[in-house]
Amino acid sequence: MSKVAFLFPGQGSQFIGMGKELYERESVSKRIFDEADEALETKLSSLIFEGDAEELTLTYNAQPALLTTSIAILEKFKEAGITPDFTAGHSLGEYSALVAAGAISFKDAVYAVRKRGEFMNEAVPAGEGAMAAILGMDAEALQQVTDKVTEEGNLVQLANLNCPGQIVISGTAKGVELASEQAKENGAKRAISLEVSGPFHSELMKPAAEKLAEVLDACELKDTNVPVISNVSADVMTEKEDIKAKLIEQLYSPVRFEETINKLIDEGVTVFIEIGPGKVLSGLVKKVNRRLKTIAVSDPETIELALQTLKEEYGNAE
């Protein structure tokens, strides 16, 4: 029988109106949005459904909004009796993956990611940090570029190793600018500046990580029910102590997404279900291995299609 992994997207996939149809049609999904409003003592659901796009994009809004929408979709899979063999997420999406694996309650997770977003936003003054996507260059060659620029006094490092030929770098604005120029000189096809509010997954996030540690201390973490693949190690994590350490380290370490997918392939996973808005992760999975089956689910129609496909082809639905 095919093994199934649930994947959860990170920041950048958000849009106004995501999850609204689920909220209106599915009581199990509505409950999740209501729980988020209660936990954060604010109408997050109103911002998600009919708010201002710029406000939703703010790190401390986008993170709880994406987590909430992803878990509202997940509830429909739980209702259908479907349990994945593995879960994984991209950056923020790792929190959704941990909720799905029973390691943290949704209420604790949505509060933690709200604070995570605030801490990330505060860590580096606006304009001082940056991120850029480097296309068409392998990790080893790009690492040499970022190491050289950093040694010369402008911190920059690999932040997201997404798929072959797509790596995001992060660091000081000057470091990212210099590394982007040198990457193109050394064979990169393109360097695209990203519209982000900070240098995420770089050493500059260490102050945020220290504050996050205190928040996670107040959360009840448990061992997982199913294995979760860690962003930091691209390996299985199941124990609560390891999970906490990895979540803190994740803030200033690269997201090893390509290695995560390869690890899942090695574990026998052939079906990847992206749970949350957008299809970014499904696209990355296909770039790692185009033969893999990907299903992106974000609304009642795509959920129904995914459940039907799992039932017919893989016997994973009860």
* pLDDT, tens digit (0-9, with 9 covering 90-100), for 234-254: 999 999 999 999 999 999 999
Map tokens 């193109």 to a residue. Answer: 184
- Model pTM score: 0.95
Catalytic residue among 91, 180, 253, 298: 91
**Residue 201: active-site member:** yes
As a whole number, mean pLDDT of residues 125-141 equals 94
Instruction: Tell me what the mean pLDDT of segment 213-233 comes to.
Output: 97
Q: What is the largest CA-CA distance in the chain?
A: 58
Give residue limits of the domains in the chain: 3-123+204-314, 129-196
Was domain 129-196 assigned CATH 3.30.70.250? yes
The pLDDT assigned to 315 comes to 65
- pLDDT score of 311 more than 90: no
1 CB neighbour count, 10 Å cutoff: 9
Count how many residues are written for the chain.
318
Q: Which CATH architecture has domain 3-123+204-314?
A: 3-Layer(aba) Sandwich (3.40)
Query: Does the active-site annotation cover 90?
Result: no
Give helix 280-288 / helix 257-266 axis angle, nearest 10°: 60
Given 201, 202, 230, 253, the catalytic residue: 201
| Dist. CA 278–CA 92, nearest whole Å | 15
